[in-house]
């Protein structure tokens, strides 16, 4: 019987994991299913561009996985039972709206190996009014809503971006460049780019000033209303549109399982991305808590999710075929920040993601960042980076374990 492998989520980590597993195992030995709620691959690292009015190249999964042996199931994951080894999904509108079908669309899928890659969404940290009034760029639906809202703004209206991390910097500079007629501001808890090297901070300040962005440093936003945001000291910052970029939260679905999780809801995994509590479950990307150099938790990012996907896929293939489980280095090299279409900042970092005194800036950095984005998308269709691969047979094919509910039926 075929070994059933289900991958949940087709972001960078999930899509790469599915494609790489397909390259490692014989098609006749495995039934490999990738479940995702959208028909196209979403380049999450470009959502600020989409929000600012740019059109992105569509990447339909039917083309990405054509001829690979990966079955793409367009559905929303609504439940995971890691004890019965089943996943419940609900079919979604095939036109890509993300809406679930009204009738007859619920299905239970059984697995032998599960790869959980349901990622993360924006987190408002419980700030009053943020959920009702703020916009996000954490995914395509949010970016499109923000795009529509920005398009309706008249010249001179205020836009406030809250959060000074990578996402916030890319969003605020992209919006300011695309809409120089708007009054764009950025609110950050600490100093502007305070984690960067001195060269990086100087360049960031120069770009922000050149785009006319007002920066509110050492500013914590404590409430959001339709036309303003309130700070911890009671100051009201005008905002016809508030963009919230203060961090991400793992998909809450894992909290309903018996998987061992962190307090933040991420699945605890070992060095091979295998759940420490359920050995037939692997977790990759933002959904997982993996440790990097110096036993520091890896941050949520595409730079983290891709090598995690390589490690999980290769570990699954090795264990099923009797091979040696490889160890793929999980370390950082740089942080790539686009600052509009013609400017950028590449901050070089230590293995554990601390800035060093080297940075690439300007148009060359923008070109570098663009190549990184294109490379990340290319890796979805080339999960082994174009290297030749050999599909290996399973070592000991096992009969499926029947779920209790199926026995009762």
pLDDT tens string 259-303: 999 999 999 999 999 999 999 999 999 999 999 888 899 888 888
Tell me the pTM. Answer: 0.92
Handedness of CA 191, 189, 137, 50 (dihedral sign): negative
Kindly give, in sequence order, each residue whose CB lies less than 8 Å from that of residue 237, ignoring residues fewer than 6 positions away: 158, 160, 185, 187, 216, 221, 228, 229, 230, 231
Show the beta-strand stretches assigned E in 125-179. Answer: 134-135, 158-162
Give 10-29 pLDDT, tens digit per residue: 999 999 999 999 999 999 99
Cα separation, 61 vs 153, in Å, equals 34
Please check whether residue 51 is in contact with residue 171, taking contact to mean a CB–CB distance below 8 angstroms: yes
Q: Answer whether 105's CB lies under 8 Å from 135's CB.
A: no
pLDDT at position 401 is 53
Instruction: Please say whether the beta carbons of 258 and 277 come within 8 A.
Output: yes
Residue with tokens 């972001």: 11
So what's the pLDDT on residue 302? Answer: 87
- Residue 368 structure tokens: 């570098």
Instruction: Supply the pLDDT for residue 390.
Output: 83
Q: What residues pair up with 345 in beta bridges, in sequence order?
A: 337, 361
d(CA 392, CA 24): 6
Beta carbons within 10 angstroms of residue 125's beta carbon: 11
For every residue of 121-138, DSSP letters joined together read EE--TT-TTHHHHEE--S
Check whether 102 has a pLDDT greater than 60: no
Kindly report the number of other CB atoms within 10 A of residue 297's CB atom. 13
% residues pLDDT > 90 (the chain):
86
The strand pair at 70-81 and 30-36 is best described as parallel
* 236: β partners: 230
Average pLDDT over residues 132-143: 96
Average the pLDDT over 220-242 and give the result.
98
Q: How far apart are CA 278 and CA 154, in angstroms?
A: 54
CA–CA distance, 398 with 142 (Å, rounded to integer): 43
pLDDT tier at 398, thresholds 50, 70, 90: low
Closest CA to 165 of 394, 366, 337, 290: 337
68 and 26 Cβ atoms separated by less than 8 Å:
no
Residues across the chain = 409
């Amino acid at each position: 019987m075929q070994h059933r492998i289900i991958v949940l989520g087709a972001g960078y980590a999930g899509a790469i994991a599915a494609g790489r597993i397909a390259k490692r195992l014989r098609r006749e030995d495995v039934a490999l299913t990738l479940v995702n709620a959208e028909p196209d691959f979403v380049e999450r690292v470009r959502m600020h561009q989409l929000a600012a009015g740019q059109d992105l190249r569509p990447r339909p999964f039917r083309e990405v996985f054509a001829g690979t042996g990966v079955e793409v199931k367009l559905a929303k994951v609504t439940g995971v039972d890691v004890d019965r080894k089943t996943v419940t999904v609900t079919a979604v509108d095939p036109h890509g709206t993300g809406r679930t079908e009204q009738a007859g669309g619920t299905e239970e899928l059984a697995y032998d190996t599960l790869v959980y890659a349901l990622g993360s969404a924006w987190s408002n940290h419980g700030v009053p009014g943020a959920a009702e009034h703020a916009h996000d760029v954490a995914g395509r639906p949010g970016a499109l809503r923000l795009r529509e809202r920005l398009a309706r703004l008249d010249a001179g209206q205020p836009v406030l971006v809250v959060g000074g991390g990578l996402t916030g910097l890319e969003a605020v500079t992209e919006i300011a460049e695309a809409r120089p007629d708007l009054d764009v501001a950025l609110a950050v808890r600490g100093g502007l780019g305070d984690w960067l090297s001195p060269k990086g901070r100087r360049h960031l300040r120069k770009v922000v000033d050149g785009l006319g962005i007002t920066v509110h440093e050492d500013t914590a936003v404590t409430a959001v209303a339709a036309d303003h945001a309130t700070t911890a000291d009671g100051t009201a910052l005008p905002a016809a549109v508030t963009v919230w970029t203060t961090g991400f939260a793992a998909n809450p679905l894992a909290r309903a399982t018996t998987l061992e999780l962190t307090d933040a809801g991420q699945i605890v995994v070992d060095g091979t991305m295998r759940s420490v509590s359920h050995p037939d479950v692997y977790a990759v990307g933002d959904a997982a808590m993996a440790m990097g150099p110096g036993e520091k938790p890896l941050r949520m990012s595409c730079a983290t999710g891709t090598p995690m996907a390589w490690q999980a896929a290769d570990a699954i293939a090795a264990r099923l075929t009797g091979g040696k489980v490889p160890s793929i280095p999980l370390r950082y090299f740089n942080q790539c920040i686009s600052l509009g279409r013609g400017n950028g900042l590449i901050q070089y970092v230590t293995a554990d993601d601390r800035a060093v005194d080297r940075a690439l800036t300007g148009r060359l950095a923008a070109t570098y960042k663009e190549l990184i984005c294109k490379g990340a998308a290319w890796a979805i269709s080339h999960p082994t980076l174009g290297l030749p691969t050999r599909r290996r047979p399973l070592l000991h094919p096992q009969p499926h374990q029947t779920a209790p509910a199926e026995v009762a039926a």
